[in-house]
Every structure is written in structure tokens, then in C-alpha cells.
């Protein structure tokens, strides 16, 4: 069940005959009926968290209308569809009652939230409503689309203490040539203006972006422009990928995958090396500072925690020395002792839990 089976439902059974049954991404009722034949369709499909019990992903919309040239997601998930505010807030209350205090908000296109339902971008209203749920402490936003950015979210991010000063916004590239070919509906100048405005309106924000190298037609000059952009913007967090052709996308149909795979890899290595130094500098600036963390788990030598600037699974972690006993799921203030490229070492500076 999932994206792969949604997309290749006809082909997969022949490839993997040992699989008992196949379900598409949205076939909840069908799979439950298969697993529990006596269960009626009105059953309460309660959500079971696969994350630590204090943290949950919260999907606020499904699908995407942007049709970037390289991306198969709209072909799999269909048109963009927001979930109503009331329904989301109800889910948040249920999660909070179960002990969740950190919400990682996700959508393929956060920027469009509300347009299909309320005729206007409604992300700011939604996040404000979610923040009113008592036990929620951190709300972190993922996957904003840079064109048509909902600027009214910025004062909420600045002024609402529950909203993390963190935004995941995939930019993919900066050269106008590549952005056009990617069908991203934004120019280099507009991208720079957007990033500057976000940083001005939300001081201290940590931006995570994703970039792609080796897209069809990316010249050496385009790649140089991308490297300069990374050096200039100093993203707090950045991931990069090499272009990989996805069946039936615009790029697969109409553009030639003309960059040699060695060159793609070389460009990826170069850009990640630049970012590694930037990340290390930014992490190093935190040494000596007192900062709030959420403890995720305990291992043999450290408690493993994150700050509001660290999304689970992709961002650096904070390793806290075991001088005092801490409880996973609780928030503490720590003092940062040392920075490493992808981790911070810290000790508890105040054992009183927040």
C-alpha cells in the first residue's frame, strides 16, 4: 500500500507474485476490510503513531497542482486537496490528549493551503487555530512552495511562541534557465527577494531547502550560479539530489536527460561540500548558548534531543551528556558545549522542565 502501488498497481502483481494483495495510497477502507473482514466500514480508524509518542506528523493537505517538470507526485496523489480546519484541529486535540506536544505539519504544497476550500490562502489561520490547543508546544512547517508564498504566515511565525522558527521550502535551483525548464513559476530575482523577506520578518528563522543538480539543460554556468547562491544565502539546512527521470513527467516526455551521471554526482558532491562548511559554521555559532530542546530518546552515552530548528530524521541532533536524568518527551534548557558538522553536544543548564 502506498505511492508505488497506487502508480503501478497493474504491473506490480506480475513482478511480485508472492504478495497477497495490493492497495493504492488511499484505499484505507479496502485494506481494513481485507485484514478485518468482520469490521464494518463505519469503524473508527484510529491513528497509531509510528513516531515517538510526543511527536507526530500532521498532514493538512494531499496532492499537488504545481506539476513541476521533474515530479511524479501530482500523477500519483492527484489534485491539491486541503483538509478542513475543524477536522485538522480535532485530530490535533486527539493527538495532544495522547501525549503529542510537537507537530510536524506537512503537505506537498503548504503555500496553497485553503485555496480550494476557502478561496484564499489560509495557512496562517490554520496554524493559529492549531496553536490554541493547550498541550501543543512546537509546530513546525514543511514544504512551502516558493511561488505564491502566503506571506501572512510570517508574523505568526515571528510572534506565536508555539510556531518554530523553521521553514522547509524547496527551491530546487536558482538559474532562470533551469527554473523555467523545471516549470517552477518563479525567477531567480523573485526567489532572492522571497528569502530576504522571510529572514527579515522572522529573525532567527532556520531555513531548510532542497536543491537539484543535473536537471536537463543545466549548463556549467547554471551550476556555478547555484553554487554562488548557496554560498550567498547560507541556508541553515540544505539537502541536494541528482536529477532522476520519472516516467510520464513533463521532463521525461519532452526534455533529454543530457547530463552524464558522473557530472551529476560531481555537482552534487561539490554543492554538499560547500554546504557542509556553512552548516558547521552555523552550528558552531550556537556553542556557549543556552537553548531549549525536546528529548527524543536515550542511548548508551547520551540523551538525544532536538531544538526547534531541527526537524526529525533530517536535521542535526543535540547529544546531551548524562549528568542528570532526563525524560524523553520532555523539554529542557541545555548549554551547547561543542559543535560537530551534524550534531551538537550539550549539557543540561537547568533541570527544571519547561
C-beta separation of 250 from 75 below 8 A: no
Q: In which element (H, E) is residue 106 found? A: strand 102-106
In sequence order, what are the beta bridge partners of 333? 292, 350
The full length of the chain comes to 354
Q: Least distance to ligand SF4 from the beta carbon of 185, Å? A: 10
**Toward ligand SF4, which CB reaches closer, 145 or 235?**
145
- Answer for which of 54, 66, 142, 286 binds ligand SF4 (CB under 6 A) is 66
Interface residue with ligand SF4 among 6, 22, 74, 315 (CB under 6 A) is: 74
Out of 73, 188, 263, 282, the only residue in the binding site for ligand SF4 (CB under 6 A) is 73
Binding status of residue 215 toward ligand SF4 by CB under 6 A? no
Residue 25 CB, nearest distance to ligand SF4 (Å)?
A: 14
d(CA 104, CA 56): 6
Shortest distance (Å) from residue 124 CB to ligand SF4: 20
Alpha-carbon distance 54 to 23, whole Å? 30
User: Which residue's CB is nearer to ligand SF4, number 70 or number 138?
Assistant: 70
Question: Given the complex with ligand SF4, which of 33 and 210 has the nearer CB atom?
Answer: 210
CB 69 to ligand SF4: min, Å = 9
Residues touching ligand SF4, count (CB under 6 A): 10
Minimum distance from CB of 145 to ligand SF4 (Å)? Answer: 5
Asked whether 314 and 237 are in contact (CB, 8 A), the reply is: yes
Q: How far is the CB of 218 from ligand SF4 (least distance, A)?
A: 17
Q: Specify the 3-state DSSP secondary structure of 260.
A: coil
Compute the distance between CA of residue 155 and CA of residue 105 in angstroms, rounded to an integer: 18
- Which residues, listed in sequence order, are joined to residue 298 by a DSSP beta bridge? 303
Grid cell, residue 300, equals 548508551
Rounded Cα distance, 296 and 93, in Å: 21
Tell me which of 145, 166, 243, 331 binds ligand SF4, using CB under 6 A: 145
Task: Tell me the closest approach of the beta carbon of residue 320 to ligand SF4, in angstroms.
Answer: 35
User: Could you say whether residue 68 binds ligand SF4 (CB under 6 A)?
Assistant: yes
User: Applying CB under 6 A, which of residues 71, 167, 179, 259 lies at the interface with ligand SF4?
Assistant: 71
| DSSP secondary structure of 117-160 | HHSS--HHHHHHHHHTSTT--EEEEEEE-STT--TTHHHHHHH-
CB-wise, 95 or 144, nearer to ligand SF4? Answer: 144
Residues 46-65 that bind ligand SF4 (CB under 6 A): 64
Please, which of residues 259-298 interact with ligand SF4 by CB under 6 A?
A: none
E strand residue ranges, 76-117: 81-82, 102-106
**Number of neighbouring beta carbons within 10 Å of residue 52:** 17
C-alpha cell at 117: 476550500
97-116 residues in contact with ligand SF4 (CB under 6 A) are 108-109
Positions in the binding site for ligand SF4 (CB under 6 A): 64, 66-68, 71, 73-74, 108-109, 145
Amino acid at each position: 500500500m502506498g505511492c508505488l502501488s497506487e502508480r503501478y498497481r497493474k504491473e506490480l502483481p506480475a513482478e511480485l507474485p508472492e504478495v497477497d494483495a495490493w492497495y493504492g495510497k488511499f484505499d484505507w477502507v479496502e485494506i481494513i476490510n481485507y485484514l478485518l473482514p468482520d469490521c464494518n466500514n463505519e469503524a473508527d480508524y484510529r491513528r497509531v503513531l509510528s513516531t515517538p509518542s510526543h511527536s507526530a506528523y500532521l498532514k493538512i493537505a494531499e496532492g499537488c497542482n504545481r506539476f513541476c517538470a521533474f515530479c511524479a507526485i501530482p500523477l500519483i496523489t492527484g489534485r491539491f486537496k486541503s483538509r478542513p480546519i475543524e477536522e485538522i484541529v480535532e485530530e490535533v486535540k486527539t493527538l495532544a490528549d495522547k501525549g503529542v506536544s510537537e507537530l510536524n505539519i506537512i503537505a506537498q504544497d503548504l503555500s496553497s493551503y485553503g485555496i480550494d476550500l476557502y478561496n484564499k490562502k489560509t495557512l496562517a489561520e490554520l496554524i493559529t487555530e492549531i496553536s490554541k490547543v493547550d498541550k501543543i508546544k512546537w509546530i513546525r512547517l514543511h514544504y512551502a512552495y516558493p511561488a505564491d508564498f502566503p506571506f501572512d504566515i510570517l508574523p505568526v511565525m515571528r510572534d506565536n511562541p508555539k510556531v518554530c522558527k523553521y521553514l522547509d521550502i524547496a527551491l530546487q535551483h536558482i538559474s532562470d534557465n533551469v527554473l523555467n525548464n523545471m516549470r517552477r513559476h518563479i525567477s531567480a530575482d523573485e526567489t532572492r527577494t522571497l528569502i530576504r523577506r522571510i529572514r527579515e520578518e522572522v529573525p532567527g528563522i532556520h531555513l531548510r531547502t532542497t536543491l537539484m543538480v543535473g536537471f536537463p539543460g543545466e549548463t556549467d554556468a547554471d551550476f556555478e550560479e547555484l553554487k554562488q547562491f548557496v554560498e550567498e544565502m547560507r541556508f541553515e539546512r540544505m539537502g541536494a539530489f541528482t536529477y532522476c527521470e520519472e516516467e510520464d513527467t513533463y521532463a521525461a516526455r519532452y526534455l533529454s536527460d543530457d547530463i552524464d551521471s558522473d557530472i551529476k554526482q560531481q555537482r552534487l558532491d561539490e554543492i554538499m561540500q560547500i554546504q557542509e562548511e556553512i552548516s558547521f559554521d552555523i552550528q558552531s555559532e550556537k556553542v556557549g548558548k543556552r537553548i531549549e530542546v525536546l528529548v527524543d530518546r536515550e542511548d548508551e552515552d547520551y540523551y538525544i534531543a532536538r531544538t526547534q530548528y531541527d526537524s526529525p530524521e533530517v536535521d542535526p541532533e543535540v547529544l546531551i551528556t548524562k549528568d542528570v536524568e532526563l525524560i524523553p518527551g520532555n523539554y529542557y534548557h541545555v548549554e551547547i558545549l561543542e559543535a560537530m558538522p551534524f550534531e551538537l553536544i550539550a549539557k543540561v543548564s537547568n533541570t527544571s522542565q519547561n
